[in-house]
Amino acid sequence: MTTPMQTFSRHDLTDLFRSLAERMAAEQSYLAELDGEIGDADHGVAMAGGFGAAARALFDADGGGQTLAQGLSLAASTLLNAVGATTGPLYASALLRAGQALGDEDRVPFDRLPGVVIAMAEGIAARGHGRPGDKTMVDAWSPAAHAARAGLAAGMAPAQILRQAAHAALEGAQATRAMMAARGRAARLGPRSIGHLDPGAVSAAALLDCLASWAEGQGRAP
């Protein structure tokens, strides 16, 4: 008897977003504190509020026969309208790309998940025109996407790839401390932005860590 191939379903999407929302709520005050140093201190509220609203919307629509693409599109528009700001459009673009990557099915093989990281990174780069080294969330997403590509090329297991991506994102977020902001509100601080972590990169690393943990938990589940 073979074990059934593990899949990622629309219901799993709801569960994943619940985890992401919980994680962002837990990080809210830390992110606000980081953003207070070089921004306007709203990043914690934006991330917690945005992912919280998206998680609720996904929960409410769960069981309604949505495809993964429809679910992620709902998450994108809910997050955008709950948040606005810079975070809203950037993560909305990321989630729309993730939806395109997963397509019009209500479940896909689990090994499609690393592709979501790559799609989200592309969505963010396309919307914000940011480059690595600008001291933005791109400094976490871009290394994560590279790690995901490398993991896929090496034929690693999905959860392992996601862990590797999360690790790369964390390293990237840490590296923003030495960067001078070239984009976003902190750019107006110029050299004074050096020495501070970028809150957008830190929250991205937390999201990716949460995604990896969620995937690892799925692997262990009976």
Partner 1 sequence: MPHSDAPPLRFGDDPLLWAAWLYYQDGLTQAEIATRMGVSRPSVNSYLADARTRGIVSIEIDPERFRALSIAKAMQDHFGLDDCLVIPSGGTGSPLIDRLGAAGAQVLSRLARSGDTIAVTWGRTMLSLANRIGRGGLQDLRVVQATGGTTAKIPWTPEACATRLAEALGARSIPISAPAIVSSPDMRALLMREPVVAEQMAILAQANRIVLGISSLRPESTIHSSGFFDGPGMQGQYHAAVGSIAGRLIAARGEPVDGPLEGRTIGVDLAALKTVPCRIGVAGGMDKVQAILAALRGGYVNVMVTDADTARAILTAEGHEDGPARPVAAAPAALPERVRIKKFLNRPQDAVNETVEGALLAHQGLLAPITGAPRALRAVDGARPGKVGLVIGGGSGHEPGFFGYLGRGLADAVAIGNVFAAPPPDPILAATLAADGGAGVLHIFGNFSGDVMNFETAAEMATARGIRVRTVVTTDDIASAPVDARAARRGVAGNVFVFKIAGAACDRMLPLETCAALALRANARCHTMGIALEPGASLESGKPSFRLGPDDMEIGVGVHGERGIARARLTTADEATDLIVDRILDEMRPAEGDRVALLVNSLGATPQMELYILNRRLRQRLRARGVGVHRTLIGHYYTSLDMAGVSITALHLDDELTALLDHPCSAPAWTQGGRP
Instruction: Identify which of residues 105 and 133 has a Cβ nearer to partner 1 in the complex.
Output: 133
Instruction: Identify which of residues 103 and 178 has a Cβ nearer to partner 1 in the complex.
Output: 178
Helix H segments across the chain?
10-38, 43-61, 68-83, 87-102, 113-128, 138-153, 158-175, 199-220
**Least separation, in Å, of the C-beta of 134 and partner 1?**
9
- 9 forms beta bridges with 107
Contact 135, 198 (CB under 8 A): yes
Residue 139-178 contact track with partner 1, rule CB under 8 A, x = bound: ---xx--x------------------------x--xx-xx
Residue 10-39 contact track with partner 1, rule CB under 8 A, x = bound: ------------------xx--x---xxxx
| Alpha carbon 66 to its chain's center | 21
Choosing from 4, 191, 221, 222, the residue that interacts with partner 1 (CB under 8 A) is 191
Instruction: Identify which of residues 45 and 102 has a Cβ nearer to partner 1 in the complex.
Output: 45
CA 117 to CA 67: how far, in whole Å? 19
Contact 173, 140 (CB under 8 A): yes
CA 154 to CA 181: how far, in whole Å? 34
CA 126 to CA 129: how far, in whole Å? 6
**Least separation, in Å, of the C-beta of 27 and partner 1?**
13
Instruction: Identify which of residues 8 and 91 has a Cβ nearer to partner 1 in the complex.
Output: 91
**Least separation, in Å, of the C-beta of 183 and partner 1?**
7
DSSP-derived letter for residue 107 is E
194 touches partner 1 (CB under 8 A): yes
Choosing from 6, 11, 18, 41, the residue that interacts with partner 1 (CB under 8 A) is 41
Contact 194, 37 (CB under 8 A): no
Which residues contribute to the site for partner 1 (CB under 8 A)?
28-29, 32, 36-42, 44-46, 49, 80-90, 127-128, 131-133, 142-143, 146, 171, 174-175, 177-180, 182-192, 194-195
